[in-house]
Every structure is written in C-alpha cells, then in structure tokens.
Amino acid sequence: MDLATDMSYLEKLIRAVSTEGYDFATGSRIMPESDAKRPFKREFASRGYNSLVRLFLHSKLYDHQCGFKAFRRDALFELLDEIDNQHWFWDTELLVRAQYRGYRVLEFPVYWRHGGSSKVNFVKDILGMGSEVFRLWWELFFPGLFSGKGKLFLAASLALLILALVATFLGASDVLDNIKQVSLSTLVLASLVYCISWPLRGIRFQQILNRLGNHYGLGFLTGSIFISQSANVILPARIGDLSRMYILKKSKDLAFTTSLSSLTVERVFDIIAITSIAALASSGVASRFELAAWMESLIRFSGFAILIFFVGLFSLSFREGRIAKRGGKKVSAISSGEPLHKIKEFISAFIHQMSIVAVRPGAFLAVVASSLFIWGMDIFTCYLVLKAFPTAGVDMSSGFTISLIFLAVALGNIAKTFPVTPGAIGTYEVALTAVFGLGGIRPELGFTVAVLDHIIKNSVTLLGGGIALSGLGLRWREVLSTSPDTLKGM
C-alpha cells in the first residue's frame, strides 16, 4: 500500500502465480541479493523474528512479512480456513502452512525502501508474534494434541498424574487393595443410577427454555447437555458451556442471548442446590465433628455468590422496568443502530430472560425442585460407590453416613467451580477424601471411593457425549474450539 517495493517487480510477481506454476509468491527484503533500507531497530527485529520462524517452523523463506505478495486463488482458498491469526502474523502463518502442505512458494529479492510510518506497536506486536510462532509450532508438529481426541488425552494424562501423586501419598498399595474388594455389580448399579440423572438434566433445561418461549425435544436437549458436559471434562473453567451455545445456535438458530441466559440460570440453580445440600448436611454431621475452615469458607462463598446474583438481578430488573415505563422505547428508537444501544439492548434482553425463570416464584420453585432431584441422583451414585466396599466397616444406613456423603459430594462440586484442572479432576477427589476422613472413613478408602465415583460420572458423560455427537453429525474438534465470536458470527 505504501509502495515500499519498487513496482518494476510487479510483473515478476504476477507471472510467478499466473504462468510459472507457483502457488504463492513473495518479495524478500532479507535475501542476500535484496536491496532494502530501513531503520536499524526494525531491521534487527525483522531478522530476529524471521530467524525464529525458520528455526522453529522449518520455513525455507528468508522474509515472511514483506507486503509484496501474490497468491493463486485456488491454493489460497484451500488454506484460509486453517489460518487462525488475523493480524500481523497472518502472512507468516499462510506461507508456513503453504510450505508444510507442499505448495510451491517462490521468494525473490526486491528493491525496498522504508515508508517512514507504520501501525506496528513494536513491543506489543513483537511479543504477540513470538507467542504465535510457538502456537503454530505446537499445532504443526503436535497436531493430535489440538484435536478433540488430543485434548482428551491431555486431560486424561493430567488426571492420572494428579491422582497418582495423591495415591502415592496415601499409600498406593492400600488403594489397590481397596479396589480388589469392590463389588462390581454395585458399581454397575451406580452407573445406571447416574445415567438416569441425564434425562432429568434435559427436563430441567427444557423447563428453562420453555419459560423463555423456546420448545425443543428432550432427546436433543439431553444430547446437547451431554456434549457440553463432555467438553467441560476436557476443558478448564467450564469453557465447554460454549459448546452447548454453539449447538443450539447451529441446530436451532437459538439467539445467543437466550442460550447464555438459560445456561446462566442453570448454573445458578446448580449452585443453589448444592449449597443448600451442603448447608443441611453440615448440620447432620455436626454431632460428630466440626467443619474445617475451608469447608465453611466454600459454603459461605457459594451462598454469598447466590445472594449477590439475586440482589443484582432484582435491582437490574427493577431498573429496566422503570426505564421502560419512562419511555425507554422512544429513546431506543432515536439511538437505534448505535453500538452502545446494541450492547444495552443485549444486556436488557439477557436480564429480562433470566428474571423470567430466576425471579418469578412458580418458575423458581420448579427449577429448584428439579435441580435438587438431579443432585440427589448424583449423591446417590456416590452412596452406591461407597456401598460397593462391603468390608469398609461403614454403617450405610446411619443418618450420619448419609449426611457425610451429601456433604462430601456437595463440597466436591462447589470446589469444581474453581477452574484448577480440566474437569476439576483432582480437586473433586481431594475434597471428597478430606470430608470422608473427618467422618472417620480411612483416607485411602475415601480416595478410592472418590476416584471411582468420578470415573463413573466422567465415563458416562464422555460416552453420552460421543453418542450425541454422532447423532447430531458433529465432531469433537468442532465443539471444542467454539468461542463467543464464533457464536455471534453464525
């Protein structure tokens, strides 16, 4: 654009891709025969950057960012979908991927003079491009780790490492001895009980969406939950919830606002249910032991988060109602089309949709009831896993033991809200082991129960997710790489 490259080279550039059989052609300021002049700082940074690209990405080119380029249309369009970067690293990624895929790339020396101005932020963009070199190196030379199966492998490896460390600390031989004593038939029963909880999740999500005026089949909704929860097993920080938004948008064209509000409501009611269970169960075990400080902190933190959510939602709903009564529609008509107006419109719709379910008494009680039932099944699964150890010496019929299991699973799931590991693998087991230990269950037995309980739940989740993916014609890579930008752009 700034004509830094002498236009006498234009014919050579065009001929390379039009008649000489090259797929990509680029001028070079760094080849020995090049005649280029630019400030020392930029020359030094450019040569250093291109050396890194040649070293780590095995490129044969000297200069990846000269703006003098031509592409054969078919070859370019075959590569566009593979290119992630949309900034300064774009042409580097294009040329590197072209070489990696076996396309013919021509680089030739040019006469080039610095234009005197640039929009490059020297520090910020150079650091950013350095991280992009690492990202592309990882994708090209370790491709399996960025596929759905690869992410599953990484998560499984991390889980095994964490669990192996805890097992070693508690005594690996004792853990193995416990596993040898387990009743397989009871574990199978526990797995079946957990399977039953999934249609209940679908029914609850169906309740929420029905309240928002969106009616979908139970099978489809249960399948979408299976997929998003499978993604949450693999990815940290509940990023997998984006997968469900993606599926709802792609399959049903559900508005991003609606899918976000319905998922937010679902998560809030999950926290309400497990916090209520933890608070009630803590009173049931109070006769035997005093809660550790971290347990009380988890319950209080969760309760405080719920309180803040509803106070904020009530306040915002009340404010939106007052604005509407004062003629908010007239203001909207005047400011229509402005970016700020669109943001306000999105927030207003989001608050309104959440308040339909979370604030109105009938809807609130219905979703609370279904949430308690879902988590009751989750806890019953853990109960059966503990029952599968007949020599554990635990009275499974006592109110204390039942309260202890309720408390352990509730605190384990509250701990899951902190994105320490993918799928909260490790944090869940540690939380259950600690609570069981306070209740008199041997730490190695408590850990074994926690591990088997989590294995059953994650295995059912991943198996259901795989079946749902096949039924919906989707791929792991597709649902694991979604982002808010993808959702908005569909």
Query: Which of 141, 176, 201 delimits the end of a domain?
Result: 141
Copy the structure tokens of residue 162: 């964490």
| 219 in the same domain as 165 | yes
290 secondary structure, DSSP code: P
Task: Compute the mean pLDDT over every residue in the chain, rounded to the nearest whole number.
Answer: 82
Q: What residues contact 401, with CB distance under 8 A and at least 6 apart?
A: 394, 395, 439
In which domain, by residue range, is 49 found? 7-141
Residue 361 — pLDDT band, cuts 50, 70, 90?
confident
For the residues 338-358, what does the mean pLDDT come to?
73
| 166 in the same domain as 105 | no
Q: Residue 286: what pLDDT?
A: 87
Q: Does the pLDDT value for residue 155 go beyond 80? A: no
Q: Residue 179: what pLDDT?
A: 75
SS3 66: coil
Does pTM top 0.85 for this prediction?
A: no
Rounded Cα–Cα distance for residues 335 and 319 (Å): 19
Rounded Cα–Cα distance for residues 447 and 186 (Å): 18
| 269 in the same domain as 201 | yes
Report which residue type is found at 6. D
Rounded Cα–Cα distance for residues 352 and 332 (Å): 16
pLDDT digits (tens, 9 = 90+) for 402-413: 999 999 999 988
Q: Does the pLDDT value for residue 31 go beyond 60? A: yes
Query: Which of 117, 141, 165 delimits the end of a domain?
Result: 141
Check if 91 is active-site: yes
Domain count, the chain: 2
For the residues 217-229, what does the mean pLDDT come to?
93
| 161 in the same domain as 48 | no
| 208 in the same domain as 186 | yes
| 282 in the same domain as 250 | yes
Query: Which of 108, 141, 174 delimits the end of a domain?
Result: 141
Rounded Cα–Cα distance for residues 95 and 76 (Å): 10
């970067």: which residue's tokens? 85
| 222 in the same domain as 102 | no
Rounded Cα–Cα distance for residues 225 and 233 (Å): 12
| 193 in the same domain as 109 | no
Count of beta carbons in the 10 Å neighbourhood of residue 147: 15
Q: Residue 144: what pLDDT?
A: 54
Residue 1 lies in a domain: no
Q: Whose CA is closest to 110, among 30, 49, 20, 21?
A: 30
Which H or E run includes 153?
helix 148-170
Q: Does the pLDDT value for residue 336 go beyond 80? A: no
Residue 421 — pLDDT band, cuts 50, 70, 90?
low
Q: Does the pLDDT value for residue 25 go beyond 80? A: yes
| 246 in the same domain as 182 | yes
Please report, rounded to a whole number, the percentage of residues in the chain having pLDDT higher than 70: 80
Q: Residue 134: what pLDDT?
A: 75
| 181 in the same domain as 129 | no
Q: Does the pLDDT value for residue 120 go beyond 60? A: no
Which pairs count as long-range contacts for 12-20, CB under 8 Å and 24+ apart, including other chains?
12/108, 13/68, 13/69, 13/70, 14/70, 16/70, 16/106, 16/108, 17/70, 17/71, 17/72, 20/106
Q: Whose CA is closest to 152, among 473, 417, 466?
A: 466
Rounded Cα–Cα distance for residues 262 and 490 (Å): 19
Q: What residues contact 396, with CB distance under 8 A and at least 6 apart?
A: 383, 386, 387
Q: Does the pLDDT value for residue 294 go beyond 50? A: yes
Contact between 181 and 379 (Cβ < 8 Å): no
| 343 in the same domain as 281 | yes
Contact between 472 and 247 (Cβ < 8 Å): yes
Q: Residue 185: what pLDDT?
A: 93
Q: Whose CA is closest to 94, among 74, 110, 112, 71?
A: 71
Of 23-32, 365-374, 427-436, 452-461, least confident by mean pLDDT is: 427-436
Q: ∠ CA(474), CA(260), CA(481), 5° rounding?
A: 35
Which H or E run includes 35?
strand 35-37
Q: Which among 91, 241, 378, 453 is annotated as catalytic?
A: 91
Copy the structure tokens of residue 474: 């989707």
Q: Residue 118: what pLDDT?
A: 56
CATH code of 90's domain: 3.90.550.10
